[in-house]
Amino acid sequence: MSTATLHRTSLFDRHVQAGAKMVDFGGFEMPLKYAGETIEHLAVRNAVGVFDVSHMGEVFIEGKEALLALQRLVTNDAARIKDGQAMYAGLLHEGGGFVDDVIVYRFSPTRFLVCVNASNQGKDFLWMRAVVAGAGLDCVVRNESDRWSQLAIQGPKAADVVATLCGERIRDIEGYHFAAMPVLDDEDAIVARTGYTGEDGFELYVKNSVAVALWDAVLRTGAVPCGLACRDTLRLEAGMCLYGNDIDEEHSPLQANLGWIVKLDERPPFIGHAALVAEKAAGVPRLLRGLEMIDRGIARSGYEVQDAGGTTIGVVTSGTQAPHLNKAIAMAYVARDHAAIGGEVHVVIRGKPLRARVVKLPFYKRPAATA
């Protein structure tokens, strides 16, 4: 795709002015890095960084049977969360593989926001609308992705930054909860305590017209502007999946170590429900596991995983030299018989099998908050 056809967020000019390296990501021209991915990564781990994540999509489902629609669409149970609460979930096809992974925000039983991945905006919207129409449910599926900008403010000092913008009440928003409140000149802004870094943080949804002023206000607090490169290393340290790498249409949530977002019982069946029930009964054939390199080398996406005898037993989906942990880490799908935590496997790097240890995800957990 040429840069002439790429979408741009409302903050594109700010990124260029700051000297960011711009790249194609999901059909959007987005900042890869500013000062450097390691500097940005450590800023988020130690203090606070801000990301333009306006490439993400916003699909609203509203109407009398909106809750029934969500129950048909997603793996998690929208009836178990309260108004003002969010949940992570999967959209699956009938075979049990991922159409996308999403965050669902519940305003009420008749109004939900589904945040979808950038590259899947159009596909997800059409799929959700078709499912709702096919079931004859009384609700409307509306794609508002072009109306919203989204800033992610992440790190141990994120709450201090957001409090300067929205007031001290934001400290009362619990993890995976949100509130509609004014932000600058946007009376309809959404402030969510969610993120994709493994740190405390907030994601602010505002009208496009407010995005630049909000970005500038956040930077004035001392937050470091961050790009996609460190977002990827942060989420990998935190053991979070990336659609298109670690999860896709060929892998189910049970294979992806995401059984906790699947509710199979005491709720209406969702699309892909029967496939997951069958897979669970038969035994999941492969599992997404963390790998830490023992030998010197960095495992990258697509690298082969072998057992001690040289037989292929899996493939790396994501890998890097982790800036905060200072070690080479990766995620890989590994055959169930070789997926035991603590076991050793080999990753083929430049034609050479190098030792790695199978470890439990995540690689990193943020320290517990102190009083």
Per residue in 81-132, pLDDT tens?
999 999 999 999 999 999 999 999 999 999 999 999 999 999 999 999 999 9
Lowest mean pLDDT among 127-141, 339-353, 356-370: 356-370
pLDDT exceeds 80 at position 142:
yes
pLDDT at 4 over 70: no
Neighbours of 283 (CB within 10 A): 8
Q: What is the mean predicted confidence (pLDDT) over 185-195? A: 96
Residue 136 has pLDDT above 60, yes or no: yes
pLDDT over 70 at 249, yes or no: yes
Rounded average pLDDT over 334-360: 98
Query: What is the mean predicted confidence (pLDDT) over 24-46?
Result: 97
Helix ranges (DSSP H) in the chain: 12-17, 37-46, 66-73, 121-135, 158-166, 208-220, 228-237, 273-282
The percentage of the chain sitting over the pLDDT mark of 90, rounded to a whole number, equals 97
pLDDT of the residue at 370? 46
pLDDT band at 5 (very low <50, low <70, confident <90, very high): confident
Q: What is the side-by-side strand order in the sheet with 111-116?
A: 85-92, 98-108, 111-116, 57-62, 140-143
Q: Give the single-character DSSP code of 201.
A: E
d(C-alpha 47, C-alpha 39), whole Å = 11
SS (H, E, C) 251-279: CCCCCCCCHHHCCCCCCCCCCCHHHHHHH
Q: DSSP assignment, residue 342?
A: T
Averaged pLDDT of the chain: 96
pLDDT tens track for 317-334: 999 999 999 999 999 999
How far apart CA 338 and CA 344 sit, in angstroms, is 8
d(CA 368, CA 371): 10
Residues 32/228, Cβ–Cβ less than 8 Å: yes
pLDDT surpasses 50 at 2: no
pLDDT digits (tens, 9 = 90+) for 299-315: 999 999 999 999 999 99
Residue 253: cis peptide before it, omega within 30 degrees of 0: no
Task: Compute the C-alpha angle 208/17/44, nearest 5°.
Answer: 75
- 309 token code pair: 């005898």
d(CA 189, CA 150): 10
Distance CA 66, CA 87 (A): 16
Torsion sign across C-alpha atoms 198, 19, 36, 316: positive
Of 14, 56, 44, 34, nearest in space to 204 by CA: 56
Domains and CATH numbers, the chain: 3-51+147-237 (3.30.1360.120), 285-359 (2.40.30.110)
Nearest CA to 149 among 103, 208, 228, 193? 208
Sign of the four-CA dihedral 151, 207, 59, 176 = positive
pLDDT band at 10 (very low <50, low <70, confident <90, very high): very high
pLDDT tens, position by position, 101-114: 999 999 999 999 99
